Amino acid sequence: MSSREAIEEQKGERYVTAPRHWAVTYRWLILALTLVAVLGAGIAAAGVHGRLVDGGYFDQSAESSRAERLLTQRYGSGTPKLVFVARSTGAVDEPKAAAAGQRLVTELAAEPGVVYVHAPWSPPTPSLLSADRHAALLTLAIAGDDQQMTRTAQRLIQKYAGARPPLTVEASGRLSVNRYAEQQSRRDLVSSEMIGVPLVSAVLLVVFGSVLACALPLAMGLVSVTGAMALLDLLARHYPVNVFALNILTALGFGLAVDYSLIMVTRFREELDRGLEVSDAVRATVRSAGRTVAVSAAVVTLSLCALLFFPTPFHRSLGAGAVAVVCLAGVAALVVQPALLALFGRRLSRRPVRVRWWRARGADAPDFWARLARAVLRRPLAVLLTVSAFLVLLAVPASGARMGFIDEDWLPRDAAPRLAAERAHAEFPVLNGTTLTALTPQTPAGSPAADRMGRALSRLAGVDMVMGAEGSFRDGRRLAAPPARPAGGVGQGTWYSLTTQAGPYSATAQRLVGTIRAQKGAGPVLVAGETASLVDMKETLARHLGWAAALVITAVALLLFFFTGSVLVPLKAVVMNLLSLTVAFGAMVSLFQDGLLSRLLGGTATGHVDPLIPAVVFCIAFGLSMDYEVFLVARIREEYLRTGDNERAVVAGLQRTGRLVTVGALAVVIVLGALAASSLAVLQELGVCLALTVAIDATLVRCLIVPALMGLAGRWNWWAPAPLLKVRALVLSRLARARLPHRPPRTSRHVRG
């Protein structure tokens, strides 16, 4: 593309993309409707906390989920997810304590939603007694979906945990952890906002030097957060929404709203400094920065749509909420923000607050960013190789990731469920191994085939004992006869409980799940339990993540092509984003799995990475990283269309957006990083990894690698095959038909010197 062609294309785009100045004409109406909407959203979102659940983590169509439902509904069995430990100053099997324990078991078994209660008193079960006989273990299976199980567990813990003379009862187990996480996330939401909002305000005040200009991005953040809460409340009325969605989406919505508003206000002040009247400055801002915001919001939305491809309610609810929040932030920036710009006008250009070391420079004055761009362009290959090698080094720990679900190790050291679980594991060795439940729905209970299956399962490597409806087995021998069956004799289907000393998330236990499922019998062998759920989750994510990533990357690349008219720019953007993401995955392992940071934040090493988190980080971080790519490339392209000089365009683009991208990224880093103030490792991990990805992307990638690559590519940055350019021109021309011509802007007499 020649310089003359580039200039002509820019002129054509100015003509066809000029919007109407409706924001100036209807500013009071827009702001009044926005105020009403915010107040209504605030009222509607008042009860959002009560509708969120700590669940939705599993694919209900997976084999382990189907096995759990069959065990609960048909056989009155299932994986125990709630544990009570009854303690006494004396032996819990003494008459008085035993009678109190029996009453406790009877009351628990009669509670709605309780499938069974296993306790050491009847029949006597020594493995459920501590070595000093001062503590008894009660394991409960709960019926229902995630929301029903969580509500049942909350009711049981509130009713039965505490002093029940002569016993003292404390709760632990997965549902106890979920209950604590649900309650703590509400408190952490307030604490993270108390940290993030003041820090972002201080940054904006330093950047703009004006309280009024600082207030506009914060107002957009308020609109976005209030709308996000109302949208989550609406979604939670019809679909299970995870409790962590509120913390994540409010932080994401606030950060993006501030980011988009920062771009609009900065460009508006630039247009005023050029001498335009307020109405024309608003129009020019919407035409240039507004288009960038629209493309950025579309890119982030497409990235978050990948979450909708996963079958887990956790991912889908988070994806639906995130898409709505990003769209809301974009609409606020493109509709409400121009009305505010028109309302306050030149008052936004005043800088009554000045910081000596933060000097506002003219557009053409040499500054740090211009010098940095020229330095990179002098040694582009060396910069590219050095920074890329450094990022790859940061990503190396990701190769040591171990997968496992969130458990008590993800809670603070002093959390009651964690302390109870640690005491229980120390007192009851039966909790330290892994229990898997094998279900054979087509094998008649009490039949020779059922006996052969029990013996075969007990011979598997790593299996210590097999118990269940067919009796007890070890090393291929029957140790105990099955319990008495009701009249009718042989029934359809049976189940076996297998114990192993391997940890629930160990490679040995995961291989054992596959071995059990491969057993031959009268029909399929289904497996339930924590390990089986982990195996199914990994397979589900691997099956869906590839397709989701491919579709999202393709859609984003096409959108960037129509935005830039280049084939290389979208390809480069995707590769750079993936490089940034590998750093986030490396941080998950080194900072939290291995505990380098989690210990400093009040917890311990989690020991593993929850398989749900990488998909969330991928989708959100990919969108945020592409966000800054759009900001930078849009300005470089604008300069290239104006001058036709690639190197000059790269320097000018980084000079004009370097500070903007850095400040915008800093605001997002602060908001997301404030999640590290949470006492829950899952929120800490999400916040820190996302903040780290944004920080690296906005500094090392956008300020060093991208200029180096664009300097090396030269004019090839803007090349595309002729057929693709024709398609692009056709699409853009059709989109432009509904737009009105743009009259020349009026120059103001108040030109800033």
Task: Note the pLDDT of residue 101.
Answer: 92
* Residue 557 belongs to a domain: no
443 phi, psi to nearest 5 deg? -95, 120
Farthest CA pair distance, the chain: 99
Cβ-contact 114, 84 below 8 angstroms: no
* Residue 410 belongs to a domain: no
Regarding pTM above 0.85, the answer is: no
Six token digits for residue 429: 């060795």
Cα gap 237→412, rounded to integer Å: 31
Cβ-contact 156, 108 below 8 angstroms: yes
Cα gap 117→114, rounded to integer Å: 8
**Are 323 and 427 members of one domain?**
no
* Residue 77 belongs to a domain: no
Across 574-679, the runs of DSSP E, i.e. the strands, are none
β-sheet bridge partners, residue 118:
139
* Residue 432 belongs to a domain: yes
**Are 151 and 189 members of one domain?**
no
**Are 385 and 435 members of one domain?**
no
We report the CATH number of the domain holding residue 636 as 1.20.1640.10
Cα gap 7→726, rounded to integer Å: 18
* Residue 59 belongs to a domain: no
In order, the DSSP letters of 375-405 are HHHHSHHHHHHHHHHHHHHHHGGGGG--B--
Residue spans of the chain under pLDDT 70: 1-21, 350-366, 483-491, 735-753
CA angle (34, 36, 42) in 5-degree steps: 100
Cα gap 439→291, rounded to integer Å: 57
* Residue 63 belongs to a domain: no
Cα gap 90→167, rounded to integer Å: 10
**Are 193 and 248 members of one domain?**
yes
Give the orientation angle of helix 612-643 with respect to helix 313-331, to 10 degrees. Answer: 30
User: For a pLDDT cut of 70, what percent of the chain falls above it?
Assistant: 91
Domain carrying residue 319? 3-47+179-399+566-719
**Are 218 and 258 members of one domain?**
yes
Cα gap 211→585, rounded to integer Å: 38
Cβ-contact 617, 672 below 8 angstroms: no
Query: Which of 534, 556, 574 is the C-terminal boundary of a domain?
Result: 534
Cα 246 versus chain centre, distance:
11
CA angle (112, 113, 119) in 5-degree steps: 95
**Are 209 and 167 members of one domain?**
no
Task: Note the pLDDT of residue 640.
Answer: 85
**Are 684 and 709 members of one domain?**
yes
**Are 155 and 257 members of one domain?**
no
* Residue 261 belongs to a domain: yes
Task: Note the pLDDT of residue 224.
Answer: 85
User: Nearest CA to 46 among 264, 298, 230?
Assistant: 230
**Are 158 and 37 members of one domain?**
no
Q: How many CB atoms lie within 10 A of CB 240?
A: 19
Cis bond leading into 741, ω under 30°?
no
Six token digits for residue 437: 């439940």
Cα gap 214→32, rounded to integer Å: 21
Query: Which residues touch 286 (CB under 8 Å, ≥6 apart)?
Result: 19, 23, 334, 338
Cα gap 313→316, rounded to integer Å: 5
β-sheet bridge partners, residue 527:
438
The dihedral sign for the CA sequence 301, 302, 303, 305: positive
β-sheet bridge partners, residue 129:
136
We report the CATH number of the domain holding residue 130 as 3.30.70
- Structural domain count, the chain: 3
**Are 164 and 190 members of one domain?**
no
668 phi, psi to nearest 5 deg? -65, -40
Six token digits for residue 302: 């497409």
Task: Note the pLDDT of residue 157.
Answer: 92
**Are 394 and 470 members of one domain?**
no
Query: Which of 119, 144, 172 is the C-terminal boundary of a domain?
Result: 172
Query: Which of 490, 512, 534 is the C-terminal boundary of a domain?
Result: 534
Residue type, 715: R
SS3 62: coil
336 phi, psi to nearest 5 deg? -75, -45
744 phi, psi to nearest 5 deg? -60, 140
Scanning the structure block, which residue is given the tokens 């599993």? Answer: 58
Task: Note the pLDDT of residue 180.
Answer: 87
* Residue 265 belongs to a domain: yes
SS3 485: coil
**Are 523 and 452 members of one domain?**
yes
